[in-house]
């Protein structure tokens, strides 16, 4: 006989999912920072090298760079929107016709 109410605790599943995704995101950021070996400031370069620093080149932002940055931002926003629609569609496809999964995740 199938159960009349969901066996799993929905709130617990949501909290575990958020905690796991936050932990994975933090681990990815930590790993990316550890693997980055570039210098971002003059002081970082001075700490690494014993030779005197002769010149520091200032950041030059051209119109082309600014427009490329705007284009990348727009493409990222479009990609995120498409990914959201795909995840929603896949979720619908998986849940459609699967009443047990729908019962598990819906309010009783």
What CA–CA distance (Å, rounded) separates 13 from 105? 9
Question: What tokens does 29 get?
Answer: 């950021």
Contacts for 104 with CB less than 8 Å, ≥ 6 apart:
6, 7, 8, 10
Residues 6+ apart with CB under 8 A from 53: 42, 45, 46
Q: Which residue, chain included where needed, has tokens 């570039």?
A: 38
For residue 108, pLDDT beyond 60: no
Joined tokens for residue 33: 């920072």
Write down the pTM of the prediction: 0.44
Residue pLDDT, tens place only, 39-87: 888 888 888 888 887 887 888 889 999 999 999 999 999 999 999 999 9
Segment 5-51, tens digit of pLDDT:
777 777 888 899 999 999 999 999 999 988 988 888 888 888 888 88
For residue 15, the surrounding DSSP H or E stretch is helix 10-35
């Amino acid at each position: 006989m199938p159960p009349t109410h969901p066996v799993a605790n929905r709130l617990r599943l949501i909290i575990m999912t958020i905690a796991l995704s936050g932990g994975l995101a933090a681990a990815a950021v930590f790993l990316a920072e550890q693997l980055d070996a570039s210098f971002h400031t003059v002081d970082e370069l001075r700490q690494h090298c014993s030779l005197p620093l002769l010149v520091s080149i200032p950041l030059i932002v051209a119109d082309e760079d600014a427009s490329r940055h705007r284009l990348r931002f727009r493409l990222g926003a479009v990609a995120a929107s498409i990914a959201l629609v795909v995840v929603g569609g896949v979720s619908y496809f998986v849940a459609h016709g699967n009443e047990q999964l729908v019962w598990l995740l819906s309010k009783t």
